[in-house]
Amino acid sequence: MFEFNDIHKSFGDKKVLDGISFSLTQGETLVIVGPSGTGKSVTLRHMVGLMAPDKGDITFDGKSILGLRGNELRKLRSNFGMLFQSSALLAWMTVEQNIALPLMETTKLSMKEIEAQVDRVIKLVHLEDAREKRPSEISGGMQKRAGLARAIISEPKVVLYDEPTSGLDPVMSRHIDKLILSMQKELGITSVVVTHDLHSAFSIGDRVAMLHDGKVVEIGPPKEFVKSKVAVVQEFIKAQFSAGYIEGIIL
């Protein structure tokens, strides 16, 4: 479905992506982990054409997405929804208006049809009580759920999650994890999740990839990922978990 082939990206003197390659299959949840500043969010932005690589190729359904403009780019992006790190809700709109925005702007659906779609996704993310509130009037967790509702309202094939649990308490983080899992199970959505949180990564990911110094140093299912021989991977895992927990994942 998605192929990243030898992608390089630099900002000035700083090389952020140094030849990363991986693929994504339909219905899969790929979790990208790694320390801050290793290019995880930049990778996501490349997937939807918000950034262009300096070198390499990205294909979606067998076609290169590089250099797409106008209608072609709009068509590509209609396959994607994205939950941004900051939720990226428009401050002057209510939760309901934010969620309806993609349909209001890009479809010819009637108000009644849009309202029905909004009701559907609001129930899915359990935000019934907050629909009339503005983003500044709701908690961080509710903002994330509203962002998720907006990301899925257009029924995209792929949803990208940029740090979906950052800044949330453990209970809310697990709630978001469950939502991501239910998106995959109920809607069959392909997901790419960028996170620091290995607990999330192991509970929602079909495969986990680790970026370090702009390269993919390990990629595989959680059970294989924890057994990685790469030193930085083991260091990253041990910084978050005890040996007993890791054994639990392997078993």
Partner 1 sequence: MKYFQHGSLPPSTNALQSLGRTCIGKVRGAGVALCLAMEALFFFYRLPKRRASFGRQLLNTGVKCFFVVSIVAFFTGMILALQTGLALQDWNQEDMVANIVVQTMCREMGPFMTALILAAAIGSAFAAEIGTMTVSEEVSALELMSINPVEFLMTPRLFALLLMCPVLTIYTDVLGTLGGMVVSQTQLDVYYKVYARMAVESLGNKEIYVGLFKALVFGFVISAVSCYRGFATTNGAVGVGEAARKTVVTSFLYILILGYFITRIFY
Contacts with partner 1, residue ranges (CB under 8 A): 10-13, 45, 48, 50-52, 54, 69, 74, 77-78, 80-82, 84-86, 88-91, 101-102, 105-106, 150, 154
Cβ at position 225, least distance to partner 1 in Å: 29
Between residues 114 and 237, which has the closer beta carbon with respect to partner 1? 114
Cβ at position 232, least distance to partner 1 in Å: 28
Helix axes 170-187, 140-152, angle to 10 degrees: 10
Inter-residue contact 226 to 237 (CB < 8 Å)? yes
Cβ at position 87, least distance to partner 1 in Å: 8
Token duo for residue 150 = 């907006």
Inter-residue contact 9 to 46 (CB < 8 Å)? yes
Between residues 101 and 217, which has the closer beta carbon with respect to partner 1? 101
Cβ at position 10, least distance to partner 1 in Å: 8
Between residues 8 and 227, which has the closer beta carbon with respect to partner 1? 8
Between residues 71 and 242, which has the closer beta carbon with respect to partner 1? 71
Q: How far, in Å, CA of 249 to CA of 251, rounded?
A: 5
> Among 215, 246, 228, 220, which Cα is nearest to 35's?
215
CB atoms within 10 A of CB 63: 11
Angle at 148 between CA 27 and CA 9, to 5 degrees: 70
